[in-house]
């Protein structure tokens, strides 16, 4: 058992009989009344995100999570298929159970979170940053820009990303998977 003072981003808890992961939290101490912790939690079975408030000092039940590396194989339209590269075990996940499904590319290594005591796969997380190839970029017209001008490009996997004007088709770029933002050109 842990208390609300132990809460941190990424922590997995048992809430109302289901596994949840804490996405965001904020300790609030109003001038009048008791302190509380406002959280945004994600159900690891359905992918649904909820807002919840815990009173300060409340006991929360943590669950043990094991992370295993799996390779993304393909998307058949409704499900995403992953394979363990050591024992070739394959797992299938719905789009809602992947943190950034539109940034997946064939052969990409991802992390599958398992409930440690039940040995059950729950959700897929991509690495913090991924390197993807730009499949389509509008040509830039010289001279019609202001400072910090951005354009939208399409990367493999189908995601649309805002990038600086100098990015062209077939370039490799690094993308932050947490918010889908451009980070830099791949080196």
Q: What is the pLDDT of residue 46?
A: 83
With contact defined as beta carbons under 8 Å apart, do 113 and 44 qualify?
A: yes
SS (H, E, C) 61-93: EECCEEEEEEEEEEECCCEEEEECCCCCCEEEE
Q: What is the CATH number of domain 65-125?
A: 2.40.50.140
pLDDT of residue 146 exceeding 80, the answer is: no
- Residue ranges of the chain assigned to CATH 2.30.30.30: 2-62
pLDDT of residue 76 exceeding 80, the answer is: yes
pLDDT of residue 143 exceeding 70, the answer is: no
User: Residue with structure tokens 């064939």?
Assistant: 106
Q: What is the pLDDT of residue 145?
A: 60
Please give the Cα distance from 139 to 178 (Å, whole number): 28
With contact defined as beta carbons under 8 Å apart, do 159 and 102 qualify?
A: yes
The CA angle 114-119-120, to the nearest 5 degrees, is: 60
What class does CATH assign to 2-62? mainly beta
**Residue 38's pLDDT band (boundaries 50, 70, 90)?**
very high
At 78-116, the pLDDT tens digits run 899 999 989 999 999 988 888 888 888 888 999 999 888
Bridge-partner residues for 163, per DSSP?
151
Q: If you average pLDDT over residues 124-140, what whole number do you get?
A: 88
Report the residue count for the chain.
Answer: 187
Bridge-partner residues for 125, per DSSP?
111
- Residue ranges of the chain assigned to CATH 2.40.50.140: 65-125, 129-185
**Residue 144's pLDDT band (boundaries 50, 70, 90)?**
low
Please give the mean pLDDT across all residues of the chain.
88
Share of the chain above pLDDT 70, in %: 96
Q: Which fold, 129-185?
A: OB fold (Dihydrolipoamide Acetyltransferase, E2P) (2.40.50)
Q: What is the pLDDT of residue 41?
A: 93
Q: If you average pLDDT over residues 129-144, what whole number do you get?
A: 82
| Number of other residues whose CB lies within 10 A of the CB of residue 163 | 22
């Amino acid at each position: 058992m842990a208390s609300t003072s132990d809460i941190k981003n990424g922590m997995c808890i048992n809430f109302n009989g289901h596994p949840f992961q804490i996405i965001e939290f904020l300790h609030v101490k109003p001038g009048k009344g008791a302190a509380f912790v406002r959280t945004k939690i994600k159900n690891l079975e359905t992918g649904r995100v909820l807002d919840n408030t815990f009173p300060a000092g409340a006991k929360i039940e943590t669950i043990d999570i094991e992370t295993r590396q799996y390779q993304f194989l393909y998307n058949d339209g409704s499900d995403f298929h992953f394979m363990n590269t050591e024992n070739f075990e394959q797992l299938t996940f719905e789009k809602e159970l992947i943190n950034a499904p539109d940034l997946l590319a064939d052969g990409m290594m991802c992390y599958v979170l398992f409930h440690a005591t039940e040995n059950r796969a729950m959700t897929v997380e991509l690495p913090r940053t991924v390197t993807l190839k730009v499949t389509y970029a509008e040509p830039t017209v010289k001279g019609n820009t202001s400072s910090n001008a951005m354009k939208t490009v399409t990367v493999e996997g189908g995601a649309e990303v805002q990038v600086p004007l100098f990015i062209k088709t077939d370039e490799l770029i690094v993308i932050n998977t947490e918010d889908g933002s451009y980070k830099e050109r791949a080196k």
